[in-house]
Amino acid sequence: MNTPKRIAVISAGLGKPSSTRMLADRLALESADVLRERGVEVETSTHELRDIASDITNNMLTGFPSEKLEAVIADVTGADGLIVVSPVFSASYSGLFKSFFDVLDPASLAGMPVLIGATAGTARHSLVLDHALRPLFSYLRAIVLPTGVFAATDDWGEAGAGGQSALTDRIARAAGELAPLVEASERSSAPRDPFGFDSVLSPVGGFQPN
Amino acid sequence: MHMQFGIFSVGDITQDPTTGITPTETERLQNLLTIAQHAEEVGLDVFAMGEHHNPPFFPSSPVAINSWLAAKTERIILSTATTLITTNDPVRLAEDYAMLQHLSGGRMDLTLGRGNTGPVYPWFGEDIRQGIPLAIEKYGLLYRLWREEFVDWEGKFRTPLQGFQSTPRPLDGVPPFVWHGSIRSPEIAEQAAYYGDGFFANHIFWPASHTAKMVGFYRQRFEHYGHGTADQAIVGLGGQVFMRKNSQDAVREFRPYFDNAPVYGHGPSLEEFTAQTPLTVGSPQQVIDRTLGFRDYVGDYQRQLFLMDHAGLPLKTVLEQLDILGEEVVPVLRREFAKNRASRVPDAPTHAARVQAALAAEQVDASTGVTTAASAE
């Protein structure tokens, strides 16, 4: 009964190393820490979209995912919670970030707790969280946490009161919001029916032609 | 005959990327008719024509094409890939395909599909969001029109019928065999299983693991509905090949067509797509080996169709491909697929066999004194 909960992490950063990945790692670590403090076992898995960028494009063109992409999709959609972080490109999330969510079954993130994060050079882009990422995941009927975490370049060098920076505060607050939802989630352990039907057909075979 | 082998065509008009030549509609249609007739000449069993209502595809009426072919051929079964069940009127389908059945002497069947071109639905007054309910209701009516003399019917998607009799009545009282085609909808596999009809898996655009799952599901449901054991369900598969004696030549020649093909062009490499889907580009022996491998994940099946005339391939090349298929590949496939085939696995459906089965069923009814209506099944 004590199967660990699972958090999937998506980073759309392109650089190596990337500050987007750095923020994703901080969010994942903090969330896992909070869960462990609550006595919940948790596993996190992090996926850099850069590594599957051509697979995502191919999926758009052929309509099916490569094995590598399929494994990432299964990991993400079957998680108990999702952390997503994109760099800000041209006033929004990056095209690669959007493309990944475009190839998912639109219903597959319904009810998923999602912690949104974004990075950029300056704080002038911070509203991208609420104007771009939040509506995207609302559309996918995910549960978007009230706190999103934005990190500008300066945030990584900012000193805060008592050694705790504002960024660290935000990370802790967001992780605190994600943890109870992950703890309550049954997503990763629920049986999944690959042949799930819409309402026309009952799950026990009650095919109803006219 | 255990298995039927043949070709299916989507009927795309595509520029030949190596010459820049795009055939006219007239040329492409004439070429296609030549290809279909050559399929019979090289000993193939089935030619299946697609239905589309938007360029670059020209075959809006596969039943018209197949009727012409019926007059020009003698042996080949004329099928479709697919007939749109969502946007055609089932009454019209019942009439047209029963007519083709008579014209061809039973040398026909059809594969129903929903179609995946969004605007076709509104062009024909339908709603794409109702795709599955449309396929279910319309086939429900088509099924009855071929089995009941006078039909009273009421549904959501067409005007009601009172005492309607579809003509001509099916040839020898046996309705055309129906396959249900689908790439990804288990509802369609369920529908095929419910009626005990055939299930045709497109197969060519998706990984084998996906096809295996869909066919496995269909077989299980076929058994559930009491039509026989799972391995007695009627399965057809698509396939896509390009062959030359030397596999390197095949790859070199086919690559520009692959790279620029509609649907998957400009995406994965030929090598990636070959690994991920049943596409085989190589020697006839490689095609034989790969095709025989399909049985490993779908079980013994009844029909194998290949896509051969697309992506701008010139007529001459397609005819050469048919020669190789007919002379070197299919005879070996027939022999090898027959090995270890369980005796209870049914042969591929033909009109003659279905007439015999109907007669046998009538005799059973007569000997037991039970009278049943519509014993054609």
Distance from C-alpha of B212 to C-alpha of B294, rounded to nearest angstrom = 9
What pLDDT does A205 receive?
Answer: 41
Q: Which two tokens stand for residue B189?
A: 């596999």
Q: Which two tokens stand for residue A175?
A: 């992780």
Interface contact A61-B191, CB threshold 8 A: no
Residues of A in contact with B221 (CB under 8 A): 205
- The tens digit of pLDDT for each residue in A6-46 reads 999 999 999 988 999 999 999 999 999 999 999 999 999 99
In a domain, B363, yes or no: no
In a domain, B358, yes or no: no
Interface contact A57-B267, CB threshold 8 A: yes
| Main-chain phi, psi angles of B10, to 5 degrees | -85, -20
Domain with B305 in it: 4-347
List, as ranges, residues 25-64 from A with C-beta within 8 Å of B: 57-58, 60-64
What pLDDT does B294 receive?
Answer: 97
Residues near B223 by beta carbon (within 8 Å), at least 6 away in sequence: B229, B230, B232, B233
Which residue ranges of chain B lie beneath pLDDT 70?
A: 369-377
Interface contact B186-A195, CB threshold 8 A: yes
Interface contact A198-B187, CB threshold 8 A: yes
ipTM: 0.79
Interface contact B206-A64, CB threshold 8 A: yes
Q: Say yes or no: B155 contacts chain A, CB-CB below 8 A.
A: yes
Beta-bridged to residue B181, according to DSSP, are: B200
What pLDDT does B375 receive?
Answer: 45
Residues near B305 by beta carbon (within 8 Å), at least 6 away in sequence: B5, B6, B7, B8, B46, B48, B81, B236, B237, B238, B239
Nearest residue on chain B to A200, alpha-carbon basis = B133
What pLDDT does B367 receive?
Answer: 76
Whole-Å CA distances, A18 to A47, A87, A154, B213, B341? 13, 9, 15, 40, 57
Residue indicated by tokens 């004194």? B369
In a domain, B147, yes or no: yes
In a domain, B25, yes or no: yes
In a domain, B279, yes or no: yes
What pLDDT does B117 receive?
Answer: 87
The CATH number of the domain holding residue B130 is 3.20.20.30
The verdict on whether omega for the bond into residue B170 sits within 30 degrees of 0, i.e. cis, is no
Interface contact A58-B267, CB threshold 8 A: yes
Residue A92 carries which DSSP code? E
Interface contact A63-B221, CB threshold 8 A: no
Which residue ranges of chain A lie beneath pLDDT 50?
A: 199-206, 209-210
Interface contact B217-A195, CB threshold 8 A: yes
Q: Say yes or no: B216 contacts chain A, CB-CB below 8 A.
A: no
From the list A62, A200, A210, the residue facing B267 with the nearest CB is A62
Interface contact B136-A66, CB threshold 8 A: no
Q: Say yes or no: A205 contacts chain B, CB-CB below 8 A.
A: yes
In a domain, B110, yes or no: yes
Largest CA distance in chain A: 71
| Main-chain phi, psi angles of B204, to 5 degrees | -85, -15
Beta-bridged to residue B112, according to DSSP, are: B83, B180
DSSP letters, A120-163, are ESSGGGTTHIIIIIHHHHHHTT-EE-S--EEEEGGGGG---GGG
In a domain, B365, yes or no: no
- For the domain made up of A5-184, give the CATH fold: Rossmann fold (3.40.50)
What pLDDT does A163 receive?
Answer: 63
Residues of A in contact with B186 (CB under 8 A): 195, 197
What pLDDT does A17 receive?
Answer: 87
Nearest residue on chain B to A198, alpha-carbon basis = B187
CA distance B46 to chain A (A): 27
What pLDDT does B377 receive?
Answer: 44
CA B177 to centroid of chain Cα atoms: 11
Residues of B in contact with A60 (CB under 8 A): 267
Nearest residue on chain A to B189, alpha-carbon basis = A195
Of residues B161, B50, B47, the one with CA closest to residue B112: B50
Q: Say yes or no: B207 contacts chain A, CB-CB below 8 A.
A: yes
Distance from C-alpha of A168 to C-alpha of A184, rounded to nearest angstrom = 25
